[in-house]
Amino acid sequence: MRTMDSYDIRTMRREEMDFAIELAASEGWNPGIHDAACFYNTDPDGFFVGLLNGRIIGCISDVSYDGVFGFLGLYIIVPEYRGRGYGIRLWNKAIQRLEGHNIGLDGVVEQQPNYLKSGFKFAYRNIRYEGVAGSVTTFPHSIVDLRSVKFDDLCTYDRNSFPANRGRFLRHWITMPESVGVAYIEDGLIRGYGLIRRCYRGYKIGPLFADTLEIGESIFSSLTSSVPKGSPVFLDVPEVNRYAVDFVNRHRMKKVFETARMYTKEVPSIRMYRLFGVTTFELG
């Protein structure tokens, strides 16, 4: 006689985050090689797994920033178990944990109608572009190693381009192995910063924040020159920033993927003109 399947949801353990990242890679999302540790340490209670008869078949992230802004990502069910209601139970668990937050996500095209039904509102499209790393031999004196910048100053600058303070995330992000971060400093003030990290395929820049197009260009050139010439380089661009779109077109980067940035409440008041590259589709 066949026994009834047992489906359980619980908080993800650190070693299981690696499995979640591998699932994301299998979906073609191209996460960073070292994303797992940074993601988990940002909010260790902000990740769930679904287990069928003790085996992990799905995951979701529901990271809380400052108790006011949440971000959903890594919402994946192993393909052979889709369409059986396991995913929606994970989803409901994550939504319940972030009750009271303004929740954001980057929804893939095929899931966007479902997110709209769940109360999310469309804000704008984020588009992933792919280019090729070049080489630049000289950089402006204004470009400095990101780790040399005062951390509090970095958090203050970052807050103008992200919906909440995310100091805990940044502390891990900027010290990630196989990554390079730079800042643009003018008159002692941060005018932009960015980071490039090794991914399952090539390298991805995120974030790329800059006060002006010219500063964004300097940061981009510095970052792409820090990885092997000819390597694939990816940048996730908010379509509403026309300067960023002009930027990737000028660099002849090609569109490879798109998501919809959606929120449950109002669109956060951030300086979109500074946002040339999204940090991650998984944590915002």
Residue in 222, 134, 231, 132 with CA at minimum distance from that of residue 185: 222
Q: Which residues of 33-66 are buried (b: 16+ CB within 10 A; e: fewer)?
A: bbbbebbbebbeebbbbbbbeeeebbbbbbbbbe
Provide CATH 3.40.630.90 ranges for the chain: 128-277
Residue 277 in this model has a pLDDT that exceeds 60: yes
Could you read off the pLDDT of 88-105 as tens digits, one per residue?
Answer: 999 999 999 999 999 999
Torsion angle of C-alpha atoms 76, 284, 182, 66, degrees rounded to 10:
-120
Query: Given pLDDT bands bounded at 50, 70 and 90, which one contains residue 2?
Result: very low
Domain 128-277 has CATH 3.40.630.90: yes
Residue 1 in this model has a pLDDT that exceeds 50: no
* Mean pLDDT of the 247-261 span: 94
Average pLDDT over the chain, rounded to an integer: 94
Residue 73 in this model has a pLDDT that exceeds 60: yes
CATH architecture of 7-103: 3-Layer(aba) Sandwich (3.40)
Residue 31 in this model has a pLDDT that exceeds 50: yes
Residue 3 in this model has a pLDDT that exceeds 80: no
Query: Given pLDDT bands bounded at 50, 70 and 90, which one contains residue 57?
Result: very high
* Mean pLDDT of the 224-233 span: 95
Provide CATH 3.40.630.30 ranges for the chain: 7-103
Biggest CA pair distance of the chain: 76
Query: Given pLDDT bands bounded at 50, 70 and 90, which one contains residue 87?
Result: very high
pLDDT-above-70 percentage for the chain? 97
* Mean pLDDT of the 79-83 span: 95
Query: Given pLDDT bands bounded at 50, 70 and 90, which one contains residue 137?
Result: low
Could you read off the pLDDT of 140-175 as tens digits, one per residue?
Answer: 779 999 999 999 999 999 999 999 999 999 999 999
Residue in 247, 278, 271 with CA at minimum distance from that of residue 157: 271
On the CB side of 64, CA atoms within 13 Å amount to 14
Per-residue pLDDT at 141? 79
The whole-model pTM stands at: 0.94
> Can you state the angle between helices 14-26 and 35-42, rounded to 10 degrees?
120
Please, which residues bridge with residue 218 across strands?
Answer: none
* Mean pLDDT of the 252-275 span: 95
